[in-house]
Amino acid sequence: MKKIILIISLFTLSCNKDIVEINRQFPLLNPIKPDANAGTWKTILPLNASDFTPANPPSVQDAAFKAQLDQIVALQKNISRDDQENMDYWGTGAVLRWNEILREFVAKYNLPPVNNADGSYPIPSAANPLAYPYFPFANPPYAARAYAYVSAAQFDALVIATHWKDRINRPLAFELDNRIQRLLPNPGLKAYPSADAVAYGVSAAMLKLLFPGEIAEIDRRMASHRRARLMSGIETAADLDAGEALGASIAQAYFQRARTDNAGASVAIVNGVNLWKVFEDNCIALNEIPWISQEAPKRPPMLPFFGKVKPFLFDSATLVGTIRPPAPPSTRSEAFRKELAEVKYYSENQTRERTRIVHFWADGVGTYTPPGHWNAIAAETFATLNWSEVRWARAFALLNLSMMDAAIACWDAKFHYYNPRPSQMDPSIKTVTGLPNFPSYISGHSTFSGAAAEVLGYLVPTDAERFAAMANEASLSRLYGALHYRSDCTVGLAVGRKVGSYAVRRGMSDGAGR
């Protein structure tokens, strides 16, 4: 009764339902170490800074440039509450915020198309992204690749920007004009080209390619980022324009790679032909039971040829020869029967704690996917470390390259073995979250999480055990949820760690150090 009286008084007294959002509590970016030598770090794509030479900055004596300084002075005279919030929002980190925008788009577009009346499924078209089915269907492999491309391009763009900052040696805006106040922390680097503008230039260009339905929204975010930087008194319009242009030209190099990485050919159906049947036939030829879609109507498997996408961290021979795991237990074996029985046990014996774990890691339809979840986990950790923008970018690049290649390795195994899901083998098995529409072996969540924990453990060694424990929980969540056999999870985690180790090797030799 006391509790009820308390609740009533709380209700009547407090009218505030506002939610505290974790990512709005992050501190402003204020690097301990500006990483001024980042211009010497090894880029992901083999790029030469000289191919991306910025235009010469305007002379500080130039009348047009003086007008740019006046513009900042004028902006700083009228700072509204919204302006202050906008500066703080972007001041938390350009790489962080554009990574969040990507996660948001993934969540918005991670919806499988509804079937046509005849039981077939419509295919999203990049040429017509806003007509249903919306393009893209940002499912986990699509998302893993998107996170990798955006993060890698951000990193390369910031490395090259740092190279030019050092050469051009342009002072920051507030250093040029004592009427200008510095309203955000000093990045400790030269002004030209602006790192923030490099970040929005490259991110906006990449996102427009990946989410063509969001072009207007991307432009809106870019404008608000630019306004925040101008107002902060750190960079002038010239610094920002040069940064945006550099970012956009780095994006071109990534477009080139994206066009030729085979992702466009990863779909199930081309011109009405069901290309994935080959996997089913291979499986039957080996006298095994092939995966069958459990959706109604039966949906073609998600991106069956994603295993053929060109990895960033190793070549296809390594993928097939070193990384591809051995076959799962045969569906006719005693080992398989035992694994199936274990799944059934978890299906029928939910506990509140196990369900919490399943739902914490589910990252299914309408979410930022498991790679997005690991980006969120990483961001929360990175936000405590006072890194420079370029170091943030490097961390996300290594993380996301590992998860894209984990997606490739996982999809390679899934379609090579084409193993049925537990609920296909025993229809009495019910799942605790949505059942993904692709073969079972190996678990995607486990592969992503193994790779992520390996890379994050390298980047933040003090938290390595925590990341490993989280990955283990994410992996087991798929068994608890009755979506995967135990071997899908344990092998997936091991494959993920192996993929992650390639990203760690890259990190150890890119010149950044820890």
Partner 1 sequence: MNFFDIRPLLRSCVPLLAPLMLHAQSDVDAIMMGKNLLCAGTSLSTGQWNQYWEGGLLRINENLGTVRTNAVAAMGSLGVTKNLNILYSLPWIQTRATAGQMTGLRGLQDIGIAAKYRMLRKKTERKSFSIFGIAGVSTPSQNYVKDYLPLSIGLGSTNLTLRLMADQTYQWFFTTASTSYVRRSNIRLDRQAYYTTRMIYSAEVEMPDALYSNVRMGYRSSELIAEFVADHWLTLGGFDITKNNMPFSSNRMIQTRIGLAGKYEPKKWKGLSLNGSVFHTVDGRNMGKSTGFQFGVFYIVNFSKSK
Task: Give the binding site for partner 1 (CB under 8 A).
Answer: 4, 7-8, 11-12, 17-24, 100, 103-104, 107-108, 111-114, 132, 294-297, 347, 350, 352, 355-356, 359-360, 362, 365-368, 373, 376, 423, 429-435, 482
User: How near is the Cβ of 350 to partner 1 at its closest, in Å?
Assistant: 7
User: How near is the Cβ of 357 to partner 1 at its closest, in Å?
Assistant: 8
User: How near is the Cβ of 63 to partner 1 at its closest, in Å?
Assistant: 43
Q: For residues 93 and 193, which CB has a smaller minimum distance to partner 1 in the complex?
A: 93
Q: For residues 82 and 334, which CB has a smaller minimum distance to partner 1 in the complex?
A: 82
Q: End-to-end alpha-carbon separation of the chain, Å?
A: 56
Q: For residues 282 and 350, which CB has a smaller minimum distance to partner 1 in the complex?
A: 350
- Compute how many other C-beta atoms are within 10 angstroms of the C-beta atom of residue 505: 13
Give residue for tokens 């990203």.
503
Residues 6+ apart with CB under 8 A from 316: 308, 310
User: How near is the Cβ of 22 to partner 1 at its closest, in Å?
Assistant: 4
Could you tell me if 31 and 394 are in contact, meaning their C-beta atoms sit under 8 angstroms apart? Answer: no
CA distance 247 to 225: 14
Could you tell me if 92 and 29 are in contact, meaning their C-beta atoms sit under 8 angstroms apart? Answer: yes
At 139, phi and psi to the nearest 5?
A: -75, 175
Could you tell me if 237 and 68 are in contact, meaning their C-beta atoms sit under 8 angstroms apart? Answer: yes
User: How near is the Cβ of 108 to partner 1 at its closest, in Å?
Assistant: 6
Residue 319 per-residue DSSP state: I
Q: For residues 88 and 104, which CB has a smaller minimum distance to partner 1 in the complex?
A: 104
- Cα radius of gyration rounded to whole Å, the chain: 25
User: How near is the Cβ of 210 to partner 1 at its closest, in Å?
Assistant: 16
User: How near is the Cβ of 238 to partner 1 at its closest, in Å?
Assistant: 33
Element (H, E) at 63: helix 63-77
Q: For residues 100 and 241, which CB has a smaller minimum distance to partner 1 in the complex?
A: 100
Q: For residues 376 and 385, which CB has a smaller minimum distance to partner 1 in the complex?
A: 376
Question: Which alpha helices (H) appear in 133-214, and where do they start and end?
Answer: 140-168, 173-176, 195-210
339, two tokens: 């694994």
Q: For residues 175 and 217, which CB has a smaller minimum distance to partner 1 in the complex?
A: 217
